[in-house]
Structure 1
Amino acid sequence: MDAELFPRGRTEVAPGAVHVPDWLDPARQRELLAACRQWARPPAGLRTVRTPGGGTMTARQVCLGRHWYPYGYAPTAVDGDGAPVKPFPAWLGELGRKAVADALGPQAATGAAYDIALINFYGADARMGMHRDSDERSDAPVVSLSLGDTCVFRFGNTRTRARPWTDIELRSGDLFVFGGPSRLAYHGVPRVHGGTAPGELGLSGRLNITLRVSGL
């Protein structure tokens, strides 16, 4: 009840890890959703990610700039249709730098040339296990933008997938940035609350747009 009565405020979850609620206004959310729908189309479109052990991720993914696969980057969709990856737009890089500046301060955004986006689509039953974003050769902060259904985002520590961790509710329009001492923290999505997306958005499920600097 308190979450509905009082505005959600900016929260530093850990050193260098900041949650900014409602960072994207409804109009910007619609613009991003429209772009994601175009990026998800073939070639090099939305795909199911297969792990080296033979399993599959329940969240489906499309990449921009470079194609991520477990556990590296390639210029083509090597575990999909083999097509060249879609380009990373300059405006998305600008959005990433603005996100870092707003969350961590202008100094943290200096020199951050964002050039990769991993866009994950979660249905109501999708999950993401605890993992680290460690395939990049840059320590620039990771930017995470949420659209659609609310999820539980679990942000852990840099040493182990186990506790301690903090569970944060990420809603449509929320921003989460992690860099500095938290850049290699384990994190995951243990739950998606289906049917919670804003009705005017026209999205069933959750989209997570993660922006990174490859350093490649």
Structure 2
Amino acid sequence: MQNDLFDSPASEPMQFSSAGFLLKQWLLPQATQLIDEVRNCVRLSPLRHFTTPGGKSMSVLSSNCGHYGWVADRQGYRYQRTDPITQKPWPEMPPQLAAKARQAATLCGFQGFAPDVCLINVYRPGAAMGLHQDKDEADFSQPIVSFSFGLPVTFLWGNTTRGGSPQRIELQHSDVLVWGGEDRLRYHGVAKLADGQHPATGNVRINLTFRMAQS
């Protein structure tokens, strides 16, 4: 049975589709520490605008940590072990980040999640992410776990095929999304970020997406 997104306790997953869950402000007690961990990672592998295979620069700034990193350029979308800017392995995924991602997945019914990549996306006002599928991973039985910090944003939750009007879910600082199972290949995206200031991140939204790139 689908829970009301506004009536459920903060510690209880709120179900917005058959296998999609929202954990409201679940990361709030650890948010400052987790954001500091992200900042340490991007000092080693700097944020950059990836380029689509068609040559278009993405509006979000991106980096990675973990055994693999997701990259996009004219050669396509893929995971690789080294940062194309530094030519070094991606920074190690901070243990606290990995542990919280595993805990969130378990709380939502996805046991044994062991992410080997964390995609770091930083949104400035005006940045957005079009509807897309996460389909570059080897094993679609593994869920996606997504952390939000900073400015609020509207998450767009579409169908398993293109088209139709996506569901709109408002995300706040320290919210977590988890989806998998029959919803694993749902189209999803992020509406254009409005201008604003947040005490934890300033003029940006930070999004961390945990995945298992290789089974």
When normalised by structure 2's length, the TM-score is 0.87
Corresponding residue number in structure 1 for 2:106: 101
Corresponding residue number in structure 2 for 1:76: 82
Instruction: Say whether the 8 Å CA contact 1:150–1:194 is kept in structure 2.
Output: no
CA change 1:202–1:69 in 2 (3 A) is closer
Corresponding residue number in structure 2 for 1:3: none
CA distance in 1, matches of 2:121, 2:133: 15
What is the Cα deviation at residue 84 of structure 1? 2.0
- Which whole-Å deviations, capped at 9, do the CAs of 1:62-119 have from their partners, x for residues lacking one? 11121211311111123x33332112233322211110122x23xx22x221111001
Corresponding residue number in structure 2 for 1:90: 95
Instruction: Say whether the 8 Å CA contact 1:150–1:196 is kept in structure 2.
Output: no
Corresponding residue number in structure 1 for 2:17: 14
What is the Cα deviation at residue 215 of structure 1? 2.1
Instruction: Say whether the 8 Å CA contact 1:13–1:166 is kept in structure 2.
Output: no
Instruction: Say whether the 8 Å CA contact 1:63–1:85 is kept in structure 2.
Output: yes
CA distance in 1, matches of 2:102, 2:18: 19
CA distance in 2, matches of 1:58, 1:165: 21
What is the Cα deviation at residue 144 of structure 1? 0.4
Corresponding residue number in structure 1 for 2:3: none
Instruction: Say whether the 8 Å CA contact 1:120–1:208 is kept in structure 2.
Output: yes
SS at match of 2:30: helix
When normalised by structure 1's length, the TM-score is 0.86
Q: Residue 154 of structure 1: which of 156, 172, 194 is its match?
A: 156
RMSD of Structure 2 on Structure 1 (CA): 1.8
Kindly indicate whether residue 56 of structure 2 is the aligned counterpart of residue 55 of structure 1. yes
CA change 1:94–1:34 in 2 (3 A) is same
Structure 1 letter corresponding to 2:213? S
CA change 1:185–1:40 in 2 (3 A) is same
Aligned residues: 201
- Runs of 4+ aligned structure 1 residues displaced above 4 Å come to 6-10
Instruction: Say whether the 8 Å CA contact 2:151–2:201 is kept in structure 1.
Output: no
What is the Cα deviation at residue 165 of structure 1? 1.7
What is the Cα deviation at residue 171 of structure 1? 0.5
CA change 1:202–1:129 in 2 (3 A) is closer
Unpaired runs of at least 5, structure 2: 1-5
Map residues 33-52 of structure 1 onto 2, 5 A cutoff. Answer: 33-42=35-44, 44-52=45-53
What percent identity do the matched residue pairs reach? 32
